[in-house]
Every structure is written in structure tokens, then in C-alpha cells.
Amino acid sequence: MRIYEVEYNAETPIILSKPSVTNVFQNSYKYLPGSTIRGAILTYLKRNNHDIKEEMVKPSMLFHPAFPVKDDLVFKPAQVLLYKCKLCNAYKPLNPYEVNLDNFAIPFKCDNNHPFALKHIGGELIAVKDGKVVDEYKKPKYAIFDSVGINRVTASSDVNLLYTYIALINAKYKGLIVTNDSCKFDLKELLDNEVIFVGKGINRGFGCLRVKIKEKSKHDIIKKYNRLNDKIVLKALSPVFNINIIDNGLVTNHEFKIKSSKCKILSNGPIDVSGFSIVSNTEKVKITALKEGSLLITNNISEDDIVDILLNGIGPFACSGFNIVEVLDYDSPY
């Protein structure tokens, strides 16, 4: 197994948008999904004449989502039990290691005693510095571009085809890529300091990301965790789901078993996810998952199992950046 820590620096504006029925494309993702990174890197390898057929069928590379970086802080989804006061902006987390999960009261006052002013911010991107929440991810910078469609027959601009792009500028992201022993690509050698392309408008110059790669060891990534009564709380960094195959097809459920221990779940709500085939250029089957920030609580897992979970995910399609979790820190439960 090899672990790469990857930085993605945008050199041009970025538009990661959901399919649009209008001519307006707006960046609608807060972070770089693993599936987007996977598509961009496989495309890069293919264009540079590497054989990726085997990788498409039997993935040996696992792409974690990459989260925005600002002033050296990485902004990740907040856990579901984090609240913020609308009046004084103070944060109030409930610590899932400490509350009785079967019967806990949702707070209605902040620490400055403002009643009924708390809003739930689970899933929003936050960073923690010196034990304090820095802020929800500060409004990213956008720029608006209009672009004229070109009529292929007359090779001139087409008045009826005006596209508007609302694009993210100065974006910078950080995430992991983990490869297993059957992987034949040395990603540092192949990709360090190269550019990959993501999102809409690539042929108009958008979506250019310069990749910087450092190889890491397990010990760089995983730290010792402070456990309470053997409890381990995992926070979803991506949508998480489980799939069962039954006679009628696929069934998704949210009954997670981690290393054969059953999990208790604190959901941050449902989200529909689907992959995007770079072969057929279409969306794949939609699956209902639990949103980022959801918590999975389990116990009795060994340090080795935790390492495995953190690097390799807890469910299907981890290679495309789904089912990626981290351990919620007991001392900093955000």
C-alpha cells in the first residue's frame, strides 16, 4: 500500500456543477469529490498512453475527497451535533463520546444564554485552530464568465447560444490517494507538478488543477486516538452508504457493520449520489446515502482496523471517494 498526500491548486476558474437545464453553469460543490479526482486522473493517464482498462474494472487506487485549504487550514464537514448561535456566532458542539445517544437533549441556548438562536451546521465546512472553530468555510470567491457557443457548420458565433459560467477562483484543495499493492502506477512520479482538468468548460480553459504530491507513511496520517469506554466515533467526510444485492436489484441501507461490530448512526440527513462514467459520459445509478457530517459510533475496534477504515473507507465505491470517514477527536468534537 502507498499513501499520497495530494494538493490541487487551481490555475484557472473551476466549475463543478450539477447537470443544468439552462445555459447557466454554477459551481455547486464545496469540495472536490473523489469521483471527480478519479475521473480527472484516469483521463490524464489515458491521454499519456497508459493502459487504464484494468483500473476501470478492478480499481487499485482509492481517491479520497479533497477539501478546500485557506491559510494552511483544511476545511472539512462539521459533525452533525454542532450548533452555532445566530446572535453571537458562538459554536456549541455536543460531544457524542459523552452524551447518552439513546436519549439526548438538543440544546436551545448558546453559552451566552441566547435562547432559540442556535442553528444546526452539521455538514458545513469548518476548520479548527487552537481548539476553536475558525468559521464555516468563508464565502469562496466567484467570477462570472459569459461565453458564446460556436456553430460548427458556419464556424462563427451563434447568437442563441450564450453560456454563463459562475466559477470558483483561487481554489486550493488537499486530500489523500491510497493505492494497494496491485497498483502499477507510481503516482508521484507520474503526476507530481502536472496538471489535470476537472468540471465544466475544460475546452474553454476552465478547471485546470496543478497537482503536488508527497508520499506519506501510515504514521504520518494516523495518530493515537483518545477513546472513552472503548467507543469510537467516526465522522463521514463523504456521503456514506451500504448496498445489498437482493433478487430485485440493489437496495441501499444504512445498517453499517464495521469490522463486524454494529454501528449506531446519527444521521445528518439523506443525499442522492451517483457516479459519472467516463466511458459512456452518463450518470450512473443513483443511490441514497447519508450526508457528510453524519456520525457512526462503534466500539471494540483495534488500532489496525482503525487505520484500515481511515485509509480504505467503510463501504462500497470507496475508490470513487464515497464512504470515507475520519475519527472524531474526543478533545475537539467538531
Least Å distance, CB 109 to Zn ion, is 8
Which of 82/85 has CB closer to Zn ion? 85
The half-sphere exposure of 238 on its side-chain side, counting CA atoms within 13 A, is 30
* Residue 14 and residue 167 in contact, taking contact as beta carbons nearer than 8 Å: yes
Q: Does 86 bind Zn ion (CB under 5 A)?
A: no
C-alpha span between 136 and 96 (Å, rounded): 21
Q: Which region, judged by CB under 5 A, interacts with Zn ion, from 82-90, 219-227, 243-251, 275-283? A: 82-90
Least Å distance, CB 86 to Zn ion, is 8
Which of 85/289 has CB closer to Zn ion? 85
Instruction: Count CB neighbours of 332 within 10 A.
Output: 12
Least Å distance, CB 116 to Zn ion, is 10
Which of 32/85 has CB closer to Zn ion? 85
C-alpha span between 271 and 292 (Å, rounded): 9
Whose CB is nearest to Zn ion? Answer: 85
Which of 107/270 has CB closer to Zn ion? 107
Least Å distance, CB 87 to Zn ion, is 5
Q: Does 228 bind Zn ion (CB under 5 A)?
A: no
Q: How many residues bind Zn ion (CB under 5 A)?
A: 6
Q: Does 87 bind Zn ion (CB under 5 A)?
A: yes
Which of 119/223 has CB closer to Zn ion? 119
Q: Which region, judged by CB under 5 A, interacts with Zn ion, from 86-94, 138-146, 220-228, 275-283? A: 86-94
Nearest CA among 227, 224, 243 for reference residue 297 = 227
Which of 87/161 has CB closer to Zn ion? 87
Under DSSP, the state recorded for 55 is: H
Question: For residue 272, what is the enclosing H or E element?
Answer: strand 270-273
Q: Does 85 bind Zn ion (CB under 5 A)?
A: yes
Nearest CA among 189, 146, 125, 128 for reference residue 23 = 146
Among 48, 112, 253, 274, interactor with Zn ion by CB under 5 A = 112
| SS3 of residue 137 by DSSP | coil
The half-sphere exposure of 272 on its side-chain side, counting CA atoms within 13 A, is 5
Nearest CA among 298, 294, 245, 250 for reference residue 271 = 294
Q: Does 296 bind Zn ion (CB under 5 A)?
A: no
Q: Which region, judged by CB under 5 A, interacts with Zn ion, from 23-31, 43-51, 85-93, 141-149? A: 85-93
C-alpha span between 62 and 308 (Å, rounded): 12
Least Å distance, CB 244 to Zn ion, is 44
DSSP 292-316: TT-EEEEE---HHHHHHHHHH-SST
Least Å distance, CB 79 to Zn ion, is 20
Least Å distance, CB 136 to Zn ion, is 16
Which of 100/113 has CB closer to Zn ion? 113
Rg of the chain on CA atoms, in Å = 21
Least Å distance, CB 89 to Zn ion, is 7
Q: Please count the helices (runs of H) and the strands (runs of E) in the chain.
A: 5, 26
Q: Which region, judged by CB under 5 A, interacts with Zn ion, from 83-91, 175-183, 185-193, 326-334? A: 83-91
| Angle made by CA atoms 305, 186, 35, in degrees to the nearest 5 | 65
DSSP 241-286: -EEEEETTEEEEE---EETTEE-EEE---EEEE--B-TTT-SB---
Q: Does 110 bind Zn ion (CB under 5 A)?
A: yes
Interface residues with Zn ion (CB under 5 A) are 85, 87-88, 110, 112, 114
